[in-house]
Amino acid sequence: MMLRNKKQGAWLQMKYFIFLFVINIVILVSAQTTAEPPENYFDADSGTEDNPFQIGNLANLRWLSENNSYWGSPMFNNGNLIRYYYIQTADIDATETIEWNEGRGFLPMGLPHFLPALGYETEFFSHYDGNNFKIINLYQSPISDSGLFGATWGSVLKNINLQNITIQIEDNYGGMYGTLVGTDISSSITNCSVSGIMDFRAGDLYGAIGGLLGQGNRSKIEFCYSNVRIIGGEGSDSSAIGGLVGSLHQDDGVLKNSYFNGDIYTLSTSQTQGGLVGWLGASKIENCYVTSTNNFNYVDKLVGRFFVPSHPSHTDCIIENNFWDIQTTGITALSNTDYECETILNNFGKTTDEMKQASTYTQYGWDFENVWGINPEINNGYPYLLSHLEQTTPSIDIIDNTYMSITAFPNPFNPEIILNFTLHKDSYITIDIYNIKGQHINTIVQGHYSAGTHQAAWNGVSQYGMQVSSGVYFYRAESNGLSQTKKILLLK
């Protein structure tokens, strides 16, 4: 009887441990976000240009990454191309993706059609509008092409803001590695920005690696920037590494009105590393610049190497009106090769002080009315894209709410907006108004205020007493050595 009781006790104990193990697995799995279709998925016209699928949370983003039938297809279906439309409707925190897919992280949307063994049979062939919302802390450790989108073809990607993305490569079998897109054919990429790290230290540098796009074929990229740190070991001469694009070639590729302000740290002696592009052929680079906090010495050219056109009908490359900071990047020349493009014109290395003066660029046709702005307090004083003004101010410290909190209403407003600010201790504070070009419009608060709640108003008038026009403005509050910038909208 005692032996039987001992056996029963051992069996009960074993069942208890099995129960705990199962519970832990259930908790682990349930803690991860499960895929959910967009809220408007069941609308009769959802996914169209007039009613795009709404990506409002991480569950929706996961649904899109895991449902390749909704990536679209260039193949004809009853005479029509299959193309869907998506719009992001909120900031998305993707921190938990580091736990997804057995450590591989987020599965990119779209992979090349020649990789069916991975379970994908199509590139992403649709429209995605990030709507200037953020995707934060996305993680990937891919087998092949990396990026929010692994492979795109004829897509329209716009207003996407990836912050603090991590691409970690452990097994590099050769691929196209980007942060936004791995490899592309004939897509339009506009008004997109990325910050984060691409870490290749566990594997060799092999393939096309770019801080925004890995490899582009006839790609059109404009109004974009990358603040990505690319870290790697040794690499082959066939690898292409660029701050914005690893390889950009074939007819009519365009990189325009964009910049790289990240870092490239590699042990590779490959000649196909460039501050903007690694390999360039039959494409155009115009009105772009490079700066960095401490670029690695091997990246000493703006463009690593040129492709010689493979066919007489292919257009030649054009590189004009581009700049690099000679004090922060280590770039000493345009390229490693002597092959001449159709047009190489007005490409200069400048000192840091010169890089922070609008006149350096305007004399070569840069548009500082509609495209670019410059302000010593924005983007560390370097030119910034007007369409990215809110995204280029993270270098400005945010006021800790233990010191101050501030609200503005109504927003949008007409004719007056009220700013309520609460100080948690006696402080000196200023609140200034700027337009979308970064130009100072007016100061509405300036002086010492006691702890407590105070109120200020702005009636849409400049410091010269002139009524300003409708549009986007920003208020900037400074107190206790910290600052905060927020957008407001005047409608008339």
Q: Is 492 exposed, middle or buried (0-12, 13-18, 19+ CB in 10 A)?
A: exposed
CA distance 83 to 75: 10
Q: Residue 312 falls within a domain, yes or no?
A: yes
pLDDT at 340: 59
Q: Residue 398 falls within a domain, yes or no?
A: no
Please count the structural domains in the chain: 2
Span 42-57, pLDDT tens digits: 998 999 999 999 999 9
Q: How far apart are the first and last CA of the chain?
A: 91
Residue recorded with tokens 């208020």: 475
Token pair, residue 488, equals 């407001």
How far is residue 311 CA from its own chain's centroid? 34
Q: Is residue 484 pLDDT above 80, yes or no?
A: no
pLDDT at 118: 44
Confidence of residue 113 (pLDDT cuts 50, 70, 90): low
| E-state strands within 178-293 | 181-185, 188-190, 193-200, 207-210, 213-217, 220-222, 225-232, 240-242, 245-249, 253-256, 259-260, 263-266, 273-274, 277-280, 283-286, 289-290
Instruction: Please give the average per-residue pLDDT across 248-266, as a whole number.
Output: 88
- Omega before residue 410 within 30° of 0, cis: yes
Residues 384 and 410 in one domain: no
Span 457-481, pLDDT tens digits: 999 999 999 999 888 788 888 887 6
Which amino acid, one-letter code, is at 183? Answer: T
Cβ neighbours of 27 (radius 10 Å): 9
CA distance 130 to 58: 13
Q: Is residue 37 pLDDT above 90, yes or no?
A: yes
Span 316-331, pLDDT tens digits: 788 999 999 998 887 8
Q: Residue 29 falls within a domain, yes or no?
A: no
Residues 336 and 436 in one domain: no
Q: Is residue 77 pLDDT above 60, yes or no?
A: no
Residue recorded with tokens 């891919």: 142
CA distance 326 to 350: 6
| Beta pairing class for 156-158 and 245-249 | unpaired
Q: Is residue 61 pLDDT above 60, yes or no?
A: yes
Last residue of a domain, one of 361, 388, 415: 388
CA distance 180 to 383: 22
Give the residue numbers spanning the domain of 373: 53-388
pLDDT at 12: 43
Q: Residue 38 falls within a domain, yes or no?
A: no
Backbone angles phi, psi at 364, to 5 degrees: -115, 20
Residues 303 and 426 in one domain: no
Last residue of a domain, one of 388, 420, 449: 388
Cβ neighbours of 252 (radius 10 Å): 14
CB 210 within 8 A of CB 239: no
Q: Which of 145-154, 191-200, 227-236, 254-263 has the lowest mean pLDDT?
A: 227-236
Q: Is residue 8 pLDDT above 60, yes or no?
A: no
CB 472 within 8 A of CB 487: yes
Confidence of residue 142 (pLDDT cuts 50, 70, 90): confident
Helix/strand/coil for 105: strand
Residues 418 and 369 in one domain: no
> Over the Cα atoms of the chain, what is R_g?
26
Q: Residue 419 falls within a domain, yes or no?
A: yes
Share of the chain above pLDDT 70, in %: 77
Instruction: Please give the average per-residue pLDDT across 333-342, as a whole number.
Output: 66
CB 475 within 8 A of CB 431: yes
Residues 427 and 383 in one domain: no
Of 38 and 398, the one with more pLDDT:
38
CA distance 381 to 368: 14
CA distance 425 to 267: 51
| Beta pairing class for 127-129 and 156-158 | parallel
For the domain that residue 469 is a member of, what is the CATH number?
Answer: 2.60.40.3080
DSSP assignment of 49-61, as one string? SSS-EEE-SHHHH
CA distance 154 to 151: 10
Instruction: Please give the average per-residue pLDDT across 26-41, as a whole number.
Output: 72
Backbone angles phi, psi at 218, to 5 degrees: 60, 30
Residues 325 and 413 in one domain: no
Residues 333 and 481 in one domain: no
Q: Residue 43 falls within a domain, yes or no?
A: no
Q: Residue 214 falls within a domain, yes or no?
A: yes
pTM tops 0.85:
no
- Angle at 142 (CA atoms; ends 136, 145), nearest 5 degrees: 95
Q: How many helices (H) and strands (E) does the chain have?
A: 4, 41
Cβ neighbours of 49 (radius 10 Å): 10
Residues 275 and 326 in one domain: yes
Residues 485 and 367 in one domain: no
Instruction: Please give the average per-residue pLDDT across 296-300, as a whole number.
Output: 58
pLDDT at 362: 96
Confidence of residue 382 (pLDDT cuts 50, 70, 90): very high
Q: Residue 210 falls within a domain, yes or no?
A: yes
CB 383 within 8 A of CB 289: yes
pLDDT at 315: 57
Last residue of a domain, one of 337, 360, 388: 388
Confidence of residue 314 (pLDDT cuts 50, 70, 90): low
Residues 179 and 320 in one domain: yes
Residues 409 and 274 in one domain: no
Q: Is residue 380 pLDDT above 60, yes or no?
A: yes
Q: Which residues contact 341 (CB under 8 A, 6 or more apart)?
A: 306, 316, 317, 318, 319
CB 265 within 8 A of CB 231: yes
- Angle at 282 (CA atoms; ends 340, 291), nearest 5 degrees: 75
Burial profile 412-425: b = 16 or more Cβ within 10 angstroms, e = fewer? ebeeebebebebee
Residues 372 and 419 in one domain: no
Which of 111-125, 214-228, 258-272, 438-452 holds the top average pLDDT? 214-228
Token pair, residue 114, equals 């020649």
Q: Which residues contact 135 (CB under 8 A, 6 or more apart)?
A: 61, 88, 91, 92, 94, 148, 160, 161, 162, 163, 165
